Structure 1
Amino acid sequence: MGFGSYDESEQDNQEYDADLDDDTGVSTEENSHEGSVDFEIGASNDELLDRLKDIKDDENEA
């Protein structure tokens, strides 16, 4: 056999364990988390909109 070849007869001898009824899986609720996230932006909407306008103006000049 050369590099990368395989014996096709071996494909018939493969065993697959596809027992889906076993209990070896992970419970999706095992690591559930509850909480909240708060953001402090530190700038007003007008300041953010002015900054966005400046960025867009810089892109148009380039």
Structure 2
Amino acid sequence: MGFGSYDESEQENQEYDTDFDDDDGLDTEGETHQGDVEYEFTASNDELLDRLEEMKEDKSTNT
């Protein structure tokens, strides 16, 4: 059998294990955060928009 060829009978007899155990995944609920997050912005909206434009220009010149 050459590279890239296959036996059609092998394709028909494949078995797939689709039984997933709950223990196989990550426990995303185990590390929940209980608290508050606060942000204090010192820049004005105009300053932030100017910075965003600079970032867009930098990205377009680098690609």
Higher percent of residues as helix: 2
TM-score range, shorter chain: 0.3 to 0.5
Name the TM-score, length of structure 2 as normaliser: 0.43
For the pair shown, the structure with the greater C-alpha radius of gyration is 1
Name the TM-score, length of structure 1 as normaliser: 0.43
